[in-house]
Amino acid sequence: MDRRFPRLNGWKVALALVPALLLAGCGGGLSGTFEDEMGYSTLTFHGGGRVVQSSPMSGVEVELAYEVDGDRIRIIQPEAGMALVLTRVDKDTLTAPMGFRYERRK
């Protein structure tokens, strides 16, 4: 048996990897509530790729999935087979098609 490399205990390796995996998983996520400029709708981003879109005027609330790819956020509506693509301008601003802007609620 070749002993050039030390033998690693599986538990030690797992414990060393867990923090790295957690940090990697949190890197591109969003959190918080963003509201459009006119107050018609809000997007509340939760962990695990979950976002709740609500419209205070109509009382409608729907839970959707989202993915982050750089500055692009895809809000996915699986039943309809479509996605809304937002762009992250900065940590407090998202833009949507047709000039809509979402600002982080303070």
Is 70 exceeded by the pLDDT of residue 16? no
Is 60 exceeded by the pLDDT of residue 73? yes
| pLDDT given at position 4 | 60
pLDDT digits (tens, 9 = 90+) for 26-71: 445 789 999 999 999 999 999 899 999 999 888 899 999 999 999 9
Q: Is residue 4 part of a domain?
A: no
Identify the residue with better confidence: 79 or 105: 105
Q: Is residue 2 part of a domain?
A: no
Identify the residue with better confidence: 44 or 10: 44
- Give the contacts of 85 (CB within 8 A, at least 6 positions apart): 72, 73, 74, 75, 97
Indicate which CATH number applies to the domain containing 55: 2.40.128.290
CA distance 19 to 27: 12
Count of structural domains within the chain: 1
